[in-house]
């Protein structure tokens, strides 16, 4: 499956991008660890295996290493 796109000519891609972006922000806004892990599971279930490289990047590069710096459950 193709990567997400914000190309104004690709309406289906825009729809997928907006949904992905919204779910990402919901994950980052998780108010506690239980909600975070629940939302992370839902996020992965929705996008794996179709977007394995994108989810792998987000998980391994950002969430595993830095979630305590930007996810609400750890910041607040």
Tens of pLDDT, residue by residue over 18-74, are 899 999 999 999 999 999 999 999 999 999 999 999 999 999 999 999 999 999 999
Question: Is the confidence at residue 12, as pLDDT, over 90?
Answer: no
Is the pLDDT at 1 greater than 80? The verdict is no
Name the residue ranges covered by the structural domains of the chain: 31-76
pLDDT-derived band at 4 (thresholds 50, 70, 90) equals low
1: its two tokens: 């499956």
Say which residues have a Cβ less than 8 Å from residue 36's Cβ, sequence separation at least 6: 27, 30, 67, 71, 73
Model pTM? 0.85
Distance CA 32, CA 7 (A): 34
- Are 26 and 35 in contact by the 8 Å Cβ rule? The answer is no
- Enter the tokens of residue 64: 């595993």
């Amino acid at each position: 499956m193709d990567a997400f796109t914000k190309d104004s000519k690709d309406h289906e891609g825009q729809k997928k991008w907006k949904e992905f972006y919204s779910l990402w922000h919901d994950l980052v806004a998780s108010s506690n660890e239980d909600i975070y892990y629940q939302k992370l599971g839902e996020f992965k279930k929705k996008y794996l295996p179709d977007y394995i490289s994108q989810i792998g990047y987000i998980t391994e590069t950002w969430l595993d290493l830095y979630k305590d710096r930007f996810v609400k459950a750890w910041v607040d």
